[in-house]
Amino acid sequence: MTARFASVRAAALTAITAARAAVSVLVLSACAHAQTIPSPIPGVRFTPGANGDVNIPLQIVVLLTALVLLPAMVMCLTPFLRLVVVFHFLRQALGTQTTPSNQVLIGMSLFLTLLIMRPVGQEIFEKAYQPYQRGELSLAQAGDALAQPLKTFHLKYTREKDLQLFLEMSGAPSPRNAAELPFLVTAPAYVLSELQTSFQIGAVLFLPFLVIDLLVASITLSIGMVQLPPVMVSAPFKILLFVLADGWNLMVGSLMKSFLGGVG
């Protein structure tokens, strides 16, 4: 038994030593031929620096920074913002606490966002990503080409007073037309306009359910039923009204149609 254990241990040590040697050879080979290895990351080229060294660490830092900012951009610079805020107000108005869960609301908002932003994404892919991959555009030019479709989309749903506010805060000169507005002005103005619109929709959503709450509270207090809180009694009636009216279809359909025009 001891001899078998010793043989297994020796074989394991041999395998570990061989693996270490193989990894060392691969690392040295990669360092020696770094300029000829294509980048495994789409859209990132490992170009040599001034001394002939590959500037990989800086490019990794830039890529990780972009990945960190990507969720915030998806949440704030797309219809995701309006959708998730309205769904939250709807859940609060129904009084269902955590049903649907946050994961369900966020997932539904994300898929609806992908559906709405598909034309914009296709335009970005054709006018920014593909020319950059072919070497027709520099990184700065590709960034400008990427921002232009987003800016056009934002201007459809941004109020003029919000644009004026951030234009004054930025200190930039007044543009001759909307196309000359900088992206750093249109992006926060879009966020502010979407918050305003989503809160307006949420206030309208609350009204019919608030009427049900008031009626149930008046009836329960008038008959002296204080064993159950009025909110618990009114919850089934609100859910029944929402289901009978086919509320999810009306809500999602109205939200999708709201992105077919300008500011509501």
**DSSP track, 43-65:** T----B-TTS-B-HHHHHHHHHH
Contact 81, 191 (CB under 8 A): yes
Of the candidate ranges 34-48, 65-79, 172-186, 202-216, the one whose mean pLDDT is the lowest: 34-48
Contact 197, 263 (CB under 8 A): yes
- What pLDDT shows up at residue 59? 63
User: Half-sphere exposure of 57 toward its Cβ, with a 13 Å CA cutoff?
Assistant: 1
Other C-beta atoms closer than 10 Å to the C-beta of 86 total 25
Mean pLDDT of the 202-214 span: 86
- What pLDDT shows up at residue 199? 92
Contact 39, 45 (CB under 8 A): yes
- Among 242, 243, 214, 241, which Cα is nearest to 230's? 214
- Position with higher pLDDT, 183 vs 50: 183
Q: How confident is the model at residue 12 (pLDDT cuts 50, 70, 90)?
A: very low
- What pLDDT shows up at residue 55? 57
- Among 180, 173, 172, 159, which Cα is nearest to 262's? 159
- What pLDDT shows up at residue 24? 43
Q: Please determine, for residue 32, whether its predicted confidence score (pLDDT) is greater than 50.
A: no
pTM summary value:
0.69
Contact 153, 120 (CB under 8 A): yes
Percentage of residues of the chain with pLDDT beyond 90? 5
Q: What is the pLDDT of residues 98-109, one digit of tens each?
A: 888 888 889 989
Q: What is the pLDDT of residues 113-122, one digit of tens each?
A: 888 888 888 8
Of the candidate ranges 113-122, 131-140, 200-209, the one whose mean pLDDT is the lowest: 131-140
- Position with higher pLDDT, 40 vs 133: 133
Of the candidate ranges 18-32, 87-101, 180-194, 212-226, the one whose mean pLDDT is the lowest: 18-32
Q: Please determine, for residue 3, whether its predicted confidence score (pLDDT) is greater than 80.
A: no
- What pLDDT shows up at residue 96? 82
Q: What is the mean pLDDT of the chain?
A: 74
- What pLDDT shows up at residue 261? 56
Q: Please determine, for residue 51, whether its predicted confidence score (pLDDT) is greater than 60.
A: no
**Can you list the pairs that 198-204 forms with residues at least 24 positions away whose Cβ atoms lie under 8 Å?**
198/81, 198/82, 198/85, 198/86, 198/89, 199/85, 199/89, 200/264, 201/82, 201/86, 201/89, 201/255, 201/264, 202/85, 202/86, 202/88, 202/89, 202/90, 202/93
- Token pair 């009636």 in the structure block, residue: 237
Peptide bond into 40 cis (omega under 30): no
Where residue 151 falls (left for φ over 0; alpha for ψ -120 to 50; beta otherwise) is alpha
- What pLDDT shows up at residue 86? 92
- What pLDDT shows up at residue 25? 36
Q: Please determine, for residue 5, whether its predicted confidence score (pLDDT) is greater than 80.
A: no
Mean pLDDT of the 172-196 span: 83
